[in-house]
Amino acid sequence: MALKIFTSSVAGDVEMGFTEQNPWFAEGITLDDYILAKECGLLSNDVIENDFDKMIEEEEEFNEERQKFEDEKERFDAGFVAYGEYIISKEIYDNIDVRVIKKWPNWSLGSIDGNKCVYIPKSLCKDITIGELANMSLVYTGLSPNPWKAIRIEAKVDPVVVVEIASIEEFMGTNQKEVIKMKTLHIPKQDIGKMVGKNGQNIRKIMKDYFYNNHEDTYLFNDMEYDDSDKWWSESTDIPKFNITDRGDYTEVNIWYNSVLDQEIIKFNPIKHLFQKMYC
């Protein structure tokens, strides 16, 4: 005879009308549940942190989408005029911001505002980088799962260098010194959130793609052997740093990097291989 356990969304005497909602149904799985699972040996600490953070992020995204739906429904119920858009097949749509998501030998995948739907043919893949934001011309093919096809990628607008300063920094307790370059750059007005990404994820993706394709340059940033891990990234030194400010008609960017990167023998260029990949 097997023991059977049944769960219910309510607890108490249902017939007498004294009920209360089961807390697991009311609150869902909380961090306390993950910690208890860890103490029981059911989950490792890494799984707890990663799964819980992912759950919170997905919940925030769901709540944001729900709020957008409620706002749209409220406007519709109040009789506001609603505008709709439709797509013309084979029409060329210019100046579309596309994020490069992944690359294969014969094609690449791009996204528009998070929607992975752009097919980028091999002929356009040479100079683009995973994580890069590019200005593309697209046509609608309707083919699933990527109904948009890139036919042209616009050249990047070169930043205007307004200020360039070099400062010497000495390592405490040693005789070692390094020269840090700081440049102030002006570029056309940008969406700063799109440039950087959540917690700087777009910068990280661009740099990791460069390291993946140029292992010989990784010594410039980290003494460890490159392994494509987040730990390798977090412990890397001399990754260029940015401060980005919206100036209304344009975007101002301060970039700091080790001046050793300006040497002719160094292939990596912080402006060309990182900064210009961050904007259209």
CA-CA distance, 133 to 145, in Å (whole number)? 21
Residue 128 in any domain: the answer is yes
pLDDT (tens digit per residue) in 81-90: 666 677 888 8
Which residues, 6+ apart, have CB-to-CB distance to 250 below 8 Å? 186, 187, 188, 189
Max mean pLDDT among 34-38, 169-173, 270-274 falls in 270-274
CATH, residue 99: 2.40.50.330
Contact present, 120 and 141 (Cβ < 8 Å): no
Q: Averaged over 89-93, what is the pLDDT?
A: 90
**Residue 172, pLDDT above cutoff 50:** no
Range of the domain at 129: 92-153
Pair of tokens at residue 165? 């300063």
Please tell me whether the overall predicted TM-score, pTM, comes out greater than 0.75 for this model. Answer: no
pLDDT (tens digit per residue) in 175-223: 556 788 999 999 999 999 999 998 889 999 999 899 888 888 888 888 7
Same domain, 177 and 126: no
The total domain count for the chain is 3
Residue with more model confidence, 249 or 47: 249
Same domain, 272 and 177: yes
Pair of tokens at residue 229? 């891990």
Max mean pLDDT among 59-63, 132-136, 208-212 falls in 132-136
Sign of CA dihedral 272, 273, 279, 280: positive
β-pair partners for 120: 108
Q: Which residue type does 120 have?
A: I
- 31-39 and 45-77 helices cross at what angle (nearest 10)? 160
Predicted confidence band of residue 6 (pLDDT cuts 50, 70, 90) = very low
